[in-house]
Amino acid sequence: MAWRRKTGLYLFLALLLAAAAWLAASRMGFLDRLSRRLFPVLEKTATLSPGDFPAGVTAPGGDIASVPLRPTLVGFTPRGAAASLLLATGGVGTEGQGKAGLLRTNYALDARAVVFARTGELRRALQDGAERGGVDMAALSVDRVASGIHPLRDAAPRVVLLLARSQGADALGAVGVADLAALKGRRLAVATSGPGQYFALWLLMRAGLGIQDVRWVDLPSSLDAGLALREGRADAIVGLRGDVEAATADRGGKVLATTADAPHLVATVLVVRGEFAARYPDGVRRIIRALLDGAAATARDPTPAARLLGEVAPSIGDPREAIRTEPPATLRENLAFFGIAGQAPVTYDELFQSAAALEARLLRSPPPPPAEDTRDLTVLRSLGEARP
């Protein structure tokens, strides 16, 4: 009996010693390394995405093709900033239309403009790419580029051109509200996926109010702002000026502010997927030149661009007024905006970092990349050097 007791005691001590050794090995990581070596198939597989690799890895090994063989798709939301894009592509049409655009007649490039009602949908289309039902390029405001820089990681987006600045195109209107300070406690309707949110936050700051001082009403699109006010779902709205003015007039309200008070706050830029830019650099160059040509033509006579814009978005009001309050940017304005030549009150880098830092603080999102990593100024630099 004594022998059996000793055997049981020794076995119990051995089990305790083995358990202690297993616990120590687990905490020191020895078991994990042993498991990976003995059973590699059981190791968890890491998630891979296109953003883990450089955007240009699929470019041809020899000479890079000048332009794609298929139509280049450029997405936009209806507003005055799209004027030069519509002139360049010949407007929004079905297959075979848009042949009178500047890109087709002057630069031998087949490109089509694709209209989106919601900025969120446009951003997702840029993320997917034209090969998967999306677009190759998109007209987005800088603050939307900053807010979506992490979701757009797989698209490796590159900003290549300033299309326009909102100089009164966006507005805040209200009913029963005397001034901006009186917005406290009121319902403020904004499309949080669009540039109106950034403008609204700036206005609250100017009025000495915080984000928590208003009751936010999220809209699916900036084009829904007027409807929200008419239906009584909001006391104040932020949207395109023509829609806001019409809605406030119907309800006996008034427009309290426009981006004419901050003409360098909302800037629409052309964003290109990194893979497309790497594969077809000459295609990007032709599109930029055609857009600048369209800006110059619109400055001389806005009627053709206004006609195309009115066909796309009659809800924005007078298209000529929409273009006047958001005029297409010239080459000179582009060079200053991107810090290449001349001076601008607010540069792209400043605007991007401001919007990205605000987004990170409000939503506690990861830190944004440096602004210079989100732009490609190759074409603009060459055009600036060639300028008389």
Domains and CATH numbers, the chain: 63-166+266-386 (3.40.190.10), 170-261 (3.40.190.10)
Residue 261 Cα to chain centre, angstroms = 23
Spatial contact of 82 and 114, defined as CB atoms under 8 Å apart: no
Spatial contact of 311 and 91, defined as CB atoms under 8 Å apart: yes
**Max CA pair span of the chain:** 111
Distances in whole angstroms, Cα of residue 305 to Cα of each of 7, 100, 113, 296, 301: 96, 13, 13, 11, 8
* Distance (Å, whole) CA 144 – CA 120: 9
pLDDT in tens, 64-74: 557 788 999 99
- What does the block give as tokens for 53? 């690799």
- Range of lowest pLDDT (2-6, 110-114, 353-357): 2-6
Residues paired with residue 165 on neighbouring β-strands, in sequence order: 267
- The pLDDT value given to residue 316: 82
Spatial contact of 289 and 380, defined as CB atoms under 8 Å apart: no
Angle at 224 between CA 241 and CA 192, to 5 degrees: 90
Residues paired with residue 269 on neighbouring β-strands, in sequence order: 140, 162
Scanning the structure block, which residue is given the tokens 């009150």?
345
Helix axes 2-27, 30-38, angle to 10 degrees: 80
DSSP class of residue 324? H
* Distance (Å, whole) CA 376 – CA 277: 9
- The pLDDT value given to residue 94: 47
Which residue has better confidence, 192 or 198? 198
Spatial contact of 254 and 38, defined as CB atoms under 8 Å apart: no
Which residue has better confidence, 43 or 315? 315
pLDDT in tens, 202-238: 999 999 999 999 999 999 888 899 999 999 999 999 9
Q: What percent of the chain has pLDDT over 70?
A: 82
- The pLDDT value given to residue 69: 85
- The band of 334, judged by pLDDT with boundaries at 50, 70 and 90, is very high
pTM above 0.75, yes or no: yes
Residue 368's contacts (CB-CB under 8 Å, 6 or more residues apart) are 146, 149, 150, 352, 353, 356, 357, 359, 360
- The band of 33, judged by pLDDT with boundaries at 50, 70 and 90, is low
